[in-house]
Structure 1
């Protein structure tokens, strides 16, 4: 059964789980539905909010050493083939994960110490959109070999006015891999701006 995490909580992924190397990280969100404002009110559907999940592969200093270490819809697989993004969901509509990333821990190079999972809103400035327009956001991790759910973290803070989220990270610790539930929002308006924080 999956562990439900609170913000700031850290849990072991591989300790005591011999052979666990294949993970699926799912990220999900829904556009906030407009409230009905009376019987005769006409509701205009909100513009699609295109959230994009990305993975930053960081070295021991917490830096992105190479642009190829940023995995997103435009660069869907790391050079080492340890991280694979399954593609872009343009609207956030529907049940279940909106975007998924597969991670093979056994293939991650020794110089990579953290995988940081971030979500940003595409064209947030021109569309005047922020994460106050998103609800039910979460990140979850499964053992992709057995489909066993390992952990689930609901991003339930108030993110109004913020345009990027650092959802969580998988990181090395004493030869094992752990997960950190971060859940912090920023005002970065693009993936490029997020990456600059890790230069």
Structure 2
């Protein structure tokens, strides 16, 4: 049975699941009724961070246009431009055994594409979540439902995997940014110029 997390909670991932190497991180969301005439395009992004909380280099920012990390440990499943349908909208596949030694954290974010121009924000998004699944048996190991705590934000750091000794843990972050992907990139040291 999956562990259900609240904002700020941390949970052991590999210690409580011995032998776990492959995981899927599924991110999902729904949009509320919106009559602005433009569809919502939410995007999952991943930042592979050093112990200072910065990407090792720009290739360690994983998204639909840079789908695989340099070490092959993180693979983005592709862009879902509508969020339609049931289940995960975007999936990140991770092989924990391949994560480069310099990566201490793997941070997961959801951003709204072109949010400012489209006058969109997370106040118009509902049912956002992150979940970690063991692909060997499709078991959901943990789930973090973000709730409806956002209004003007255009990006959310959902959660992060981080090293703790020889183990991996997951932390439910739920931190919003009102300056979207540009704000995330700046804070994580990515050059998006």
Compute the displacement of 1:192 (Å): 3.5
State how far apart, in whole Å, the 1-side matches of 2:90 and 2:115 are. Answer: 18
- TM norm structure 2: 0.94
Instruction: Check the 8 A contact 1:143/1:149 in 2, yes or no.
Output: yes
State how far apart, in whole Å, the 2-side matches of 1:164 and 1:62 are. Answer: 18
Larger radius of gyration: 1
Q: Which runs of 5+ in 2 are unaligned?
A: none
2:112 match: 121
> Number of aligned pairs?
189
Compute the displacement of 1:18 (Å): 2.3
Compute the displacement of 1:157 (Å): 3.8
SS of the residue corresponding to residue 120 of structure 2 reads: coil
State how far apart, in whole Å, the 1-side matches of 2:182 and 2:48 are. Answer: 14
1:61 match: 52
Q: CA RMSD in A?
A: 1.3
- TM norm structure 1: 0.91
1:183 matched to 2:174? The reply is: yes
Q: Which runs of 5+ in 1 are unaligned?
A: 35-43
What does residue range 147-158 of structure 1 map to in structure 2 within 5 Å? 147-158=138-149
Compute the displacement of 1:46 (Å): 5.3
1:196 matched to 2:186? The reply is: yes
Compute the displacement of 1:121 (Å): 0.5
State how far apart, in whole Å, the 1-side matches of 2:60 and 2:117 are. Answer: 28
SS of the residue corresponding to residue 195 of structure 1 reads: helix
State how far apart, in whole Å, the 1-side matches of 2:42 and 2:139 are. Answer: 26
Deviates more, 1:141-150 or 1:173-182: 141-150
